[in-house]
Amino acid sequence: MRKYSIFALLLVVVMLLAACAPAATPAPAEEATQPPAAAEPTKAPEQPAQPAEEKVTLTIESWRNDDLTIWQDTIIPAFEAKHPNIHVVFAPTAPAEYNGVLNTKLEGGTAGDLITCRPFDASLKLFEKGYLAPLNDLPGMENFGDVAKSAWITDDGKTVFCVPMASVIHGFFYNKEAFDKLGLKPPETKAEFKAVLDAIKADGTYIPLGMGTADMWEAATMGFQNIGPNNWKGEEGRLALIKGTAKYTDEPYVKTWRELAAWRDYLPPGFEAVKYPDAQSLFTLGKAAIYPTGSWEIALFEQQATFEMGVFKPPVENKGDQCYISDHTDIALGMNAATKHPEEAKTFLSWVASKEFAELYSNALPGFFSLSNEPVTLKDPLAQEFVSWRGQCKSTIRNSYQILSRGEPNLENELWRVSAAVINGTMTPEQAAKEIQDGLDKWYKPK
């Protein structure tokens, strides 16, 4: 019997501990929500001791767990200094889980007060379901132009539901050291691009292109949407797809996949199993000479790379051709319609719409370019370089995001799949085009 008394004792102890845990949390459940990583060991014990005196806690749901430290150390303190009665907690979830977790929390009623919005259809759906509050009369919204707001507005253009935060620009990073050693110049035309890749390959010291297809999205986002706008003439081609006057089986799109297929020869060995972080390491360790991607990498790369980096924009057909860049409205912040603190949440959102935030954010996260009309001075040279392309080229956004990703099969996911397959060589560019167009035709009827 002694054994069982030990068992029972253990049980009692554990139940007591478990029962104490909730009792030690004075704040209402939602308000106590914090990301585990946000726990600074020194701070944690203080909270139960100080009962919340009118101090409101706002929680931000986000998929940007990379930015956690920047929010904690830079952005939130700047806001709290001005609004001492509002405490803000940045609670990111890993990108892969964000959709599932956010939807569950919204339906269960435990989601944070502020919600980071993905562009276009995904957030529109949340608004239609009544989870996001309309923000038309938010002070500060006047700082954004129509293009900036286009990603977070209803189809009739009447209601905005998220405050635009940033866009990202696609392009290529290159290792300046490697280029100098091999006597190469950043390419401007497609022919030059190929010549550069061939030269790097012939030399053999570096992997020409640091990219893999294991995660699939790189093939579509950093490949297809990066080099494609020069082929389909940016907005012209994107809007034609929506209008139905162009199809993915048309030459500009098939050609883009053909160009992608040609990348295969320059990718690292075993690229089919190379994941995104592997490719990043490959470049920052100086093993790959060129890395196709977007401006969002600046902060991480500057921190990790030990060599000088440069960037070049997607090559055009002939020297002097009009160039197009993907300047993608990527991230915004909305308000949970069910928040208990709408006033404080709006105060925060107004601040996000302000010039101060634009300046802070764009410089704390170089490569995320503010969408505000207020001019922002960028300190980072690579970020300056990216943003300078806006003056030389016409901007567009990823062509699968607006309207075309509303149905099933989901266009964006399909683009990931076929683009990866085209690079892997398991699908021809023509097959890829046909599968994409067939999937779209199944549900999309242009108006």
Partner 1 sequence: MSDSSPVRTATFTYRLRRFFGSLAPHLVLAGYSVFALFPIFMILINSFKTRKAIFGAPFELPNAQTFSLIGYETVTKRANFAQYFINSTIVTIGALLLILLIGAMAAYALSEYRFPGNALLGLYLSIGIMIPIRLGTVGILRLMVGLNLVNTLAGLILVYIAQGLPLTIFILSQFMRQVPRELKDAARIDGASEYRIFMLVLPLVRPALGAIGIFTMIPIWNDLWFPLIISPSAKTATITLGVQQFLGQFVSDWNAVLSSLTLAMVPILIFYIVFSGQMIRSITAGAIK
Partner 2 sequence: MSQAIRRKKVFPWHIVVFLAPAVIIYSVFMVFPLLNSLRLSFFGFTPDNKEFFVGFQNYVKLFTDSTYAPRFWGALKNNFVFFAIHMLVQNPIGLLLAALLAGGGRGRNFYRTILFMPTVLSVVIIGFIWQLILNPLWGVTEGLMKMVGLGSLFKPWLGLPESALIAVSLISVWQFVGIPMILFYAALIGIPEELIEAATVDGASRWHSFWHIKFPLILPTVGIVAILTFVGNFNAFDLIYTMKGANAGPEFSTDIMGTLFYRTFFGQQLQLGNPAMGATVAAMMFLIILTGVLIYMFLWQRRVTTYEL
Please say which residue, 123 or 231, places its beta carbon nearer to partner 2: 123
Query: Shortest Cβ distance from residue 370 to partner 1 (Å)?
Result: 23
If binding is defined by CB under 8 A, does position 285 make contact with partner 1?
yes
Residues 213 and 330 sit within 8 Å (Cβ to Cβ) = no
Q: Which residues bind partner 2 (CB under 8 A)?
A: 96, 99-100, 103-104, 118, 120-122, 125, 128-130, 212-217, 268-275, 278, 281-282, 400-401, 405, 408-413, 416-417, 420-421, 424, 426-427, 439, 442
Beta bridge partners of 370: 166
If binding is defined by CB under 8 A, does position 94 make contact with partner 1?
yes
If binding is defined by CB under 8 A, does position 6 make contact with partner 1?
no
C-alpha of 447 from chain center: 30
Please say which residue, 33 or 395, places its beta carbon nearer to partner 1: 33
If binding is defined by CB under 8 A, does position 35 make contact with partner 1?
yes
From partner 1, partner 2, none, which one binds at residue 421 (CB under 5 to 8 Å depending on kind)?
partner 2
Query: Shortest Cβ distance from residue 271 to partner 2 (Å)?
Result: 7
| Residue 106-145 contact track with partner 1, rule CB under 8 A, x = bound | -xxxx-----------------------------------
From partner 1, partner 2, none, which one binds at residue 29 (CB under 5 to 8 Å depending on kind)?
partner 1
Rule CB under 8 A: which residues touch partner 1? 3-4, 7, 10-11, 14-15, 17-19, 21-22, 24-25, 29-30, 32-41, 44, 65-66, 68-69, 91-95, 97, 100-101, 104-105, 107-110, 276-277, 280-281, 284-285, 300, 304
